[in-house]
């Protein structure tokens, strides 16, 4: 894993900082690159009480066990990816300690804790038309009655595999995408949102 000071955002070549919009209020879609995050892939048996309790002790909150849901603490959150798999997202300075706490709490159990750093980058999409933009290229039903805050799902957006997490009712979404597809997806989102007005903002 690269030293933190050597890290460069997946979208650095696009010069987004120079394109920050001063007055984004009129735009229907606000785009930003989320930086300063690390990710941990966690696997274990949710039917084992010891696994769930160990994870709760390390994280400070319960893992989500309902499909496509999210649990959150004060600074990290866990996304359900499958019956025995979660993605834990934490600030850059806290992830190593969190991974160590998980390994300690789950030692001797049938579990795996893997630090994956920023293998996936995160694009934040918010604004009154953000749902419509995603629906242009995603087969998921994102209707508010079906998909809302504290929900997540793995799907495809345009030609990229993504994890979609809805953060609030604005609506705001975090899109997790492999770094090799990040530039493609960003440019697709800009183009798809053009009819509503797109503003680039700081995360």
Measured at the CA of 195, the angle between CA 190 and CA 197, to 5 degrees, comes to 65
pLDDT tens for each residue of the chain, 203 residues long: 445 545 566 666 665 665 667 677 789 999 999 988 999 999 999 999 999 999 999 999 999 999 999 999 999 999 999 999 999 999 998 999 999 999 999 999 999 999 998 889 999 999 999 999 999 999 999 999 999 999 999 999 999 999 999 999 999 999 999 999 999 999 999 999 999 999 988 87
**Which strands, in side-by-side order, build the sheet including 120-126?**
151-157, 160-168, 172-178, 120-126, 29-34, 198-200
Q: What are the distances in angstroms from CA 124 to CA 33, 111, 166, 167?
A: 6, 31, 10, 10
Measured from the Cβ of residue 147, the count of other Cβ atoms closer than 10 Å reads 19
Q: What are the distances in angstroms from CA 119 to CA 41, 105, 116, 176?
A: 11, 25, 6, 9
**pLDDT at 5 (0 to 100):** 46
SS (HEC) of 17-67:
HHHCCCCHHHCCEEEEEECCEEEEEEECCCCCHHHHHHHHHHHCCCCCCCC
Tokens standing for residue 84: 């025995």
Q: Report pTM.
A: 0.90
């Amino acid at each position: 894993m690269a030293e933190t000071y050597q890290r460069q955002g997946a979208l650095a070549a696009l010069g987004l900082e120079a394109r920050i919009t001063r007055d984004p209020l009129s735009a229907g879609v606000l785009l930003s690159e989320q930086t300063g995050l690390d990710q941990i892939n966690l696997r274990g048996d949710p039917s084992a009480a010891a696994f769930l309790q160990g994870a709760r002790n390390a994280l400070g909150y319960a893992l989500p066990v309902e499909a496509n849901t999210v649990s959150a603490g004060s600074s990290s959150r866990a996304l359900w990816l499958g019956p025995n798999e979660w993605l834990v997202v934490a600030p850059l300075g806290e992830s190593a300690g969190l991974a160590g706490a998980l390994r300690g709490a789950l030692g001797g159990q049938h579990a795996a804790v893997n630090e994956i750093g920023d293998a996936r980058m995160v694009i934040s999409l918010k604004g009154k038309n953000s749902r419509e933009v995603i629906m242009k290229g995603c087969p998921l039903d994102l209707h508010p009655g079906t998909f809302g805050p504290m929900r997540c799902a793995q799907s495809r957006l345009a030609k990229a595999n993504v994890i979609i997490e809805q953060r609030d009712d604005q609506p705001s979404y975090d899109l997790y995408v492999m770094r090799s597809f990040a530039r493609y997806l960003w440019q697709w989102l800009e183009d798809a949102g053009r009819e509503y007005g797109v503003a680039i903002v700081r995360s």
